[in-house]
Amino acid sequence: MAVMRTFYLFVVTSLCEILGCYLPWLWLKRGGSPWLLLPAALSLALFAWLLTLHPDASGRIYAAYGGVYVSVALAWLWLVDGVRPTLWDVAGVGLCLAGMAVIMLAPRS
């Protein structure tokens, strides 16, 4: 159960990070309102706080989080940007998630 909780926490954390970067991108690249920077900053602050909720060493958390981040970023590519991921994208996600599983599920002394 703790593994699934951690995975879901990583997904929420990824969404906060992506949103925090996407909103300034909308402002700079698509002529969005500068007011987008306020929720972007809040989203990035929430992202940083969420990473502190994990009990393991920060470097290990960041490494494992990266695998989930790649997965969520490609889901964002499809759902928000409207670009369907390629077979290579899906293979890359599989490799990232496998790496994350090795990091998170390895026996600890």
Write down the pTM of the prediction: 0.87
User: What is the structure's pLDDT at 45?
Assistant: 98
Distance CA 109, CA 98 (A): 21
Report the alpha-carbon angle 28-30-33, nearest 5. 70
| Predicted confidence (pLDDT) at residue 55 exceeds the cutoff of 80 | no
Q: How far is CA 99 from the centre of its chain?
A: 15
Domain of 30, in residue numbers: 2-105
Task: Summarize the confidence of residues 7-31 as an average pLDDT.
Answer: 95
User: What is the structure's pLDDT at 64?
Assistant: 85
User: What is the structure's pLDDT at 103?
Assistant: 87
Q: First vs last Cα of the chain: how many Å apart?
A: 21
The whole-chain average pLDDT of the chain stands at: 92
User: What is the structure's pLDDT at 18?
Assistant: 97
**What's the number of domains the chain is made of?**
1
Question: Nearest CA to 43 among 74, 14, 10, 78?
Answer: 14
* Contact criterion met (CB below 8 Å) for 24 and 48: no
Per-residue pLDDT band at 84 (split at 50, 70, 90): very high
User: What is the structure's pLDDT at 60?
Assistant: 82
Residue entry with tokens 């940007």: 81
| Predicted confidence (pLDDT) at residue 109 exceeds the cutoff of 80 | no
